[in-house]
Amino acid sequence: MATFVLDGKASAELPRRPIAVSLTVAGPAGGARLLAEGRGGRQVRVVQHTGSLLILPRVDEETTVSAVPDGRDRFGQGTVLHVTLGPDDPSDLGADVIQLTPRDVSGLSFIELATLVPVDAGTVGVTTKLAVPDAPLPPVAAHARVACRGVLHRDQVDEADRVRVGCVVDTSVSMAPLFASGTVAAAGDIVAGLAAVLSGGEDVELAAPGPSGADRAAYSASELGDHLRQSPVAGFGYAVDLNPAVGPHDRVVGGVAVGPSLTVVITDGRGVVEFAEGVVALVLSHSASVSSGPGFAGAVCPLPPPGVGGRDFLAGQPQLVSRVVADLLAASGRAGAGLAGAAR
């Protein structure tokens, strides 16, 4: 019997027969649950005995094994996962076994562990997910990235399913206090966290139409919120028309449209947005009623208490950020494990 210990993007092979995946959790109280799915979130045949033990009766396509917290939003601090894969045959004492190096998942809501791919008629290849540290993001954006992964059940979307994420900011006079308090910057951080997962690290295209023109530029996920700490270059105005900047546009690479987009409109009221596929609103308001009317697509984010900065407020409210992210993804048609059929 050989025991392969895998880390980084290491690989090993197992016989192509039923494979058992077992999970042991070390750390604070609170368990974890294993998931298995095909490319793009497709369902695969799984026999799940418990949250910590699943059997893959046959691996006929690329299958990703992941883990999520069991009964809570995020893994507790100090939670470490130990994962073993091997043939589902307790009597085969000489079978090869694969162990993944322990994974510290503190604060995460989802983690991809390994990918199984049929190699030939008798062999399955097992590859651990590449252990590349996440790019640093501001705290609110980091919360949003974790939340997005939890909703989609993946670290990053497959390249074929990636979307260009755009952001349009309302520059009406009523938005001025929200810029001053950092609430718009915090909303920009939420958009940045979405983009970090949905677009594979592409910059976010920002448009802020105003009375003296439009501020248009592309910013990385780490830069977007910081840019929105400042008042818009084009100034504030009355009855600002955002809709020319809102329409979704396909991602274009080398002059060829390669996929859909998601445009998030940051505003303080629903009336400024003409909703269409691929367009959602992030409304900054204490009033939840703005989302209750017909045709609304998006999320409502409460305002910080007086004297508290918007970014500081949301940095201390990860569950609130998770709710906002889940609402935005649901409105865009991207909630759930798969992205097939997402709105364009």
Kindly state whether residues 186 and 160 are assigned to the same domain: yes
Distance CA 234, CA 60 (A): 55
Radius of gyration of the chain (CA): 22
Whether 264 is in a domain gets the answer: yes
Average of per-residue pLDDT across 301-316: 97
Q: Structural domain tally of the chain?
A: 2
Among 102, 128, 154, the domain boundary falls at 128
For the chain, what's the residue count? Answer: 344
Tell me the residue type at 56: L
Classify burial at 285, counting beta carbons within 10 Å of its beta carbon; exposed 0-12, middle 13-18, buried 19 or more. middle
Name the pTM for this structure.
0.73
Q: pLDDT tens, 137-187?
A: 999 999 999 889 888 877 777 777 888 999 999 998 999 999 999 999 999
Whether residue 61 is predicted with pLDDT greater than 80 in this model: the reply is yes
Domain that holds residue 310: 139-332
At residue 344 the predicted structure's pLDDT band, cuts being 50, 70 and 90, is very low
Kindly state whether residues 143 and 26 are assigned to the same domain: no
Whether 37 is in a domain gets the answer: yes
Other Cβ atoms less than 10 A from the Cβ of 290: the count is: 19
Q: pLDDT tens, 217-252?
A: 999 999 999 999 999 887 888 867 777 677 554 445
Kindly state whether residues 85 and 169 are assigned to the same domain: no
Whether residue 338 is predicted with pLDDT greater than 90 in this model: the reply is no
Distance CA 58, CA 116 (A): 11
Diameter of the chain measured on Cα atoms: 76
